[in-house]
Structure 1
């Protein structure tokens, strides 16, 4: 089985694949100080709860936007699974699609994996939207080439800045407003309207501009924890896939294995 691990700025997602099927997935807060032994203590318990043994894992692939975590994850793979892990974008798991931008080596692993998965699963010209610590918009052409994109503050970052830089505004939870009114009658409603509908307007405006610049029919694919929440209040997304990044890891690992066996 394949263990795919996506290290983001906020969370680390572990997913166990049997072929192309996700058997189970787990999530833990990102902490670059967490050792390989600490990861193992947590992960072995979860495997046992699923009735699985560590010996069932014979392949591991990582993606990471937190370089300080890489060594400890390598220790986890080597010491507890007796596996030499693959790192997305490196060696056998090097990117196998065109990155058509001015600085190709600066493209984050999560963004590259989203492009790979969306092209494999959907195809055609696409805009891929990923809701994470930052919200990323990727333009992918019908050949699977990455053509560029947009990075915007994530909605929680925006809310943190609003609350952190003001003395009296309260902390609120991100949720869909109770109605479509954009004239709030109290402070909390006004904040929620500004954050939520402001974010929807930002997304709709940027996607409209990207579509106009691409100039061909485009499929908009969204991923990340907040994708479903926003999808309830806007029709800009054509497809939601919460596991897009992890699926990209599985696709990349499968391609690497096939190349090695060729």
Structure 2
């Protein structure tokens, strides 16, 4: 079994793979930041809760966009499994070509799995802490990225900056014009972000002069994907699958 770990700004996602199939996956909150001992205890409990035999994990791949969490997570996993972890990143050599050395590991993984899995030019819309759209063509060239505030990030900012607006359930309202405060906010957040994503897809297609294949992923992607024909597929495990592909490529190259 291969354990793949994606350390994100809001969550740490785990994926346990048997061959090509992700047989188990779960998420832990990243904040507040935890010590190596705390992480070790939480990881141990999670494996027990998900009925995973620690001894069956033979390899561990870690991708991270939170530098100060990378070391304690890797150390706690190594301590738990007695296995040296492999760090994958944008520096992992693949068929992809890209312009920016600042690209995050998650975006690189998104682009790589889209390149390996789907035909033509693709856009991966990641509804995470930040809303990102990563575009890669059929030749593996990363055409560019769009980064905007994420849905939950924007909602928290709105609530924190106003006196009379409180937290709401992330649910699609029945109509655009809300009748109470909760519906009004749901409309603004859900339909507002949906319109932005659709508009950005249209702009990218116009810029590239072609229709792209759009994949959605990320924590709130399941809310938006059914609301638009522009998103062709939702895969909540897209990024973790991309990290696995980076690990496989890195292992083939003999880079650990």
TM-score (norm 2): 0.92
- Name structure 2 gaps, 5 residues minimum: none
Deviations 1:181-207 (A, max 9, x none): x32333332222222211111111111
**How many residue pairs were aligned?**
255
Q: Which runs of 4+ in 1 moved over 6 A?
A: none
Deviations 1:152-173 (A, max 9, x none): 1111122122221111123222
Find the partner of 1:207 among 201, 208, 211: 201
1:127–1:14 Cα change, 3 Å: same
The separation in 2 between residues aligned to 1:85 and 1:49, in whole angstroms, is 22
SS in 2 for 1:237: coil
1:79–1:169 Cα change, 3 Å: closer
Q: CA deviation at 1:131?
A: 0.4
Show the counterpart of 1:87. Answer: 87
The separation in 2 between residues aligned to 1:32 and 1:73, in whole angstroms, is 14
Show the counterpart of 1:98. Answer: 96
1:201–1:51 Cα change, 3 Å: closer
- Tell me whether 1:147 sits opposite 2:147 in the alignment: no
Assess if the C-alpha contact under 8 Å between 1:130 and 1:223 holds in 2. yes
Q: CA deviation at 1:116?
A: 0.8
1:98–1:51 Cα change, 3 Å: closer
The separation in 2 between residues aligned to 1:79 and 1:189, in whole angstroms, is 48
Q: CA deviation at 1:49?
A: 4.1
**What does 1:208-247 correspond to in 2, within 5 Å?**
208-247=202-241
1:39–1:212 Cα change, 3 Å: same
Show the counterpart of 1:38. Answer: 38
TM-score (norm 1): 0.90
Q: CA deviation at 1:56?
A: 1.4
Deviations 1:226-245 (A, max 9, x none): 22211222111011111001
Assess if the C-alpha contact under 8 Å between 1:6 and 1:63 holds in 2. yes
The separation in 1 between residues aligned to 2:235 and 2:188, in whole angstroms, is 26
Show the counterpart of 2:103. Answer: 107
Shifted more, 138-147 versus 23-32: the winner is: 23-32
Q: CA deviation at 1:249?
A: 1.3
**What does 1:1-262 correspond to in 2, within 5 Å?**
1-31=1-31, 33-89=33-89, 94-101=92-99, 104-179=100-175, 182-260=176-254
The separation in 2 between residues aligned to 1:135 and 1:176, in whole angstroms, is 18
Assess if the C-alpha contact under 8 Å between 2:40 and 2:76 holds in 1. yes
